[in-house]
Structure 1
Amino acid sequence: MSCQQLDEAWLKRHPLPAIAQGADKNSRGRVLVVGGAEFVPGALRLTGEAALRAGAGKLQMATVRSSALSLGVLVPEAAMIALPADEEGEIAPAAAEILKARITSCDTLVLGPGMSSGKGARTFVANLLDSLDFPGSLILDAAALVSLRDFDPSRWRVKENVIFTPHYGEMAALSGLSVEEIKARPLAVAIEMASRWSAVILLKGDKSYVASPDGESLVYSDGCVGLGTGGSGDVLAGLIGGLAARGAPALRAAAWGAWVHGRAGRTLTKVIGEVGFLARELVPLIPEIIDGELQ
């Protein structure tokens, strides 16, 4: 099974939408990031800041009430939505009703960073997605993907501009396959899941595969080992969300996100070391890398 190489030549053939001089913050897209928990109160900082660094104009973040205030101070550019928590410190299932009205006023929803895959979190995601009819871009990451294992794809109402960002373990939970089966045929699994869910799949690994529902596929093989660090996936989800908010179609947002994320990691490898750089150190590099490719 063949696929295109995701490289600079592909990016030049598939540029990001231009941002006009004088464009205001609303025209650059409004992102809502939902996730986090009492156990990982700062995860959404990485996702939200990456969305803004990627060019989104406005940011809202929704997390458990105990973390919302401190996170809002940490990211003063964002508006905060405080959500109820369950006994495990995760977003409570009832929070879905609070968010449904908020979702209608955003262009991109990023769901899942910093959440666990516990029963309460799975119920919250199911409650939120079960009746979601959202015309914007939807990025599902981490626990939001694992939560879909009990969700019937026939109930999936969102059919366009959807991106899943699983690593191999999350893909195993989503697909019902073992990690070994996925590693044996990663591209085929990504294509199958893209068709099943009507979503662009970014399957993350040593080589990352991007697959669209119509069968178009890409492979990115120029990352680095240092990106395998806590919070790196949170940055990637926000980066993709920011690109989608500024108008990039789903396949393009996922592909550019994977490439920019990888380039940021390679840059830090040269400056800091092959391993040991932090996920938050990726974030400030995003604008310069994007601008460099747009020249």
Structure 2
Amino acid sequence: MSCHQLDEAWLKRHPLPAIAQGADKNSRGRVLVVGGAEFVPGALRLTGEAALRAGAGKLQMATVRSSALSLGVLLPEAAMIALPADEDGEIAPAAAEILKDRITACDTLVLGPGMSTGKGARAFIANLLDSLDFPGSLILDAAALVSLHDFDPSRWRVSKDVIFTPHHGEMAALSGLPIEEVDAKPAAIAAEMAARWSAVILLKGDISYLAKPDGQCLVYEGGCVGLGTGGSGDVLAGLIGGLASRGATALQSAAWGAWIHGKAGNILAQTIGEVGFLARELLPLIPTLIEQTLRAPGPAEDILP
């Protein structure tokens, strides 16, 4: 299938919505990030901070109670929701009821970063998504995607946008296909799953593919090997969520998120090393990259670190 190139020219043709001078934090959207576990207590910090760096006005994070206090201190800009954990240290299935009223008060929900694919985590995600009635943008990442294989999307009602951010292994689990088939036909499978789920799919890899339910496809080839590090996907999920909260469409959010994430990785590869930079080091680069790209600065190499 034919895919258009995701590059600066595409971004200039599809700019992010302008934020008016004097706009308050509520006008830039409220993001709720749900995930984490006792095993990875800091993962949600990466997702939450990325959402704020991308321009979200308000942030709430919901995670297991044992991590909530320290995470709130680590990221004092966020409000924290402490959830019960199961015996494996994952968010307990019953926690879904605690969140359903909170979700409706937000503009964007990012679900899955930092969670495992264990039985309890899958049950929590199923409970949360079952009959979900949400007026905003829904971004599903990591464990939330793996848990969807047997889920019927007609059981949720999301009135705005749905975005999936799988890597090839998660896409294999989501689609039920061997990973070798995903590797061989990434664009076609991304398009097929986008149509099946009525979602924008960002299939991450050395080359990333973005697919819309109507068959539109973009290909992004600007990443770098150093982005294959722990926490990098958590940053990307939050970045996309933050862009969605400030009014970008699903395709814009995923495309701008992929490009900014890749560009930040390339800057760190040049200034620190091809590998060895940390996911958290991507975060401070996000606002400048967004602003300079919106101002159409010229060649990518001219964007400042």
TM-score (norm 2): 0.96
Q: Tell me if structure 1 keeps the 8 A contact 2:31–2:107.
A: yes
SS at match of 1:230: coil
Map of 1:178-189 to 2, 5 A cutoff?
178-189=178-189
Query: Aligned equivalents of 1:62 and 1:281: distance in 2?
Result: 23
- Separation in structure 2 between the aligned mates of residue 9 and residue 159 of structure 1, nearest angstrom: 30
SS in 2 for 1:241: helix
SS in 2 for 1:150: coil
Q: How does 1:100-249 map to 2 (within 5 A)?
A: 100-158=100-158, 160-249=160-249
Equivalent residues in 2 for 1:25-64 (5 A)?
A: 25-64=25-64
Which of structure 1's runs of 4+ aligned residues deviate more than 6 A? none
Partners in 2 of 1:211 and 1:268 — Cα distance? 28
SS at match of 2:157: coil
Q: Give the partner amino acid of 1:87.
A: E
Provide the rounded CA distance (Å) in 2 between the counterparts of 1:131 and 1:293: 39
Query: Does the CA contact (< 8 Å) of 1:103 and 1:109 recur in 2?
Result: yes
**Counterpart for residue 65 of structure 1:** 65
Shift of 1:159: 5.8
1:34-60 deviations in Å (ceiling 9; x for gaps):
000000000000000000000000000
CA distance in 2, matches of 1:33, 1:154: 23
Give 1:214 deviation, angstroms.
1.1
Q: Which amino acid aligns with 2:53?
A: R
The match for 1:288 is 288
Per-residue deviation at 1:155?
Answer: 2.7
CA contact 1:160–1:198 (8 Å) conserved in 2? no
Partner secondary structure for residue 149 of structure 1: coil
Please give the alpha-carbon distance, in whole angstroms, between the structure 1 residues aligned to 2:197 and 2:158: 9
SS of 1:27's partner is: helix
Deviation at 1:157, TM superposition (A): 2.9
Q: CA deviation at 1:158?
A: 2.7
CA RMSD of aligned residues (A): 0.7
Q: Which residue number corresponds to residue 8 of structure 2?
A: 8
Flag structure 2 segments of 5+ consecutive residues without an equivalent: 296-305
Q: 1:37 touches 1:63 (CA, 8 Å); kept in 2?
A: yes
Q: Distance in 2 between matches of 1:156 and 1:69?
A: 31
Partner of 1:259: 259
Tell me the percent identity.
84
Paired position in structure 2 for 1:86: 86
Alpha carbons 2:136, 2:159 under 8 Å: kept: no
CA contact (8 A) 1:159 1:199 kept: no
Contact 1:159/1:198 (<8 A) preserved = no
Q: Aligned letter for 1:121?
A: A
TM-fit CA distance, 1:152: 2.2
Q: How far off is 1:154 after superposition?
A: 3.8
Deviations 1:65-92 (A, max 9, x none): 0000000000000000000000000000
Instruction: Give the C-alpha shift of residue 156 in structure 1.
Output: 4.0
Residues 84-140 of structure 1 show CA distances to partners (whole Å, capped at 9, x for unaligned) of 000000000000000000001100000000000000000000000011011100000
Tell me if structure 1 keeps the 8 A contact 2:63–2:83.
yes
Question: How many residue pairs get matched?
Answer: 295
How much does 1:256 deviate? Answer: 0.3
Assess if the C-alpha contact under 8 Å between 2:135 and 2:159 holds in 1: no
CA contact (8 A) 2:240 2:253 kept: yes
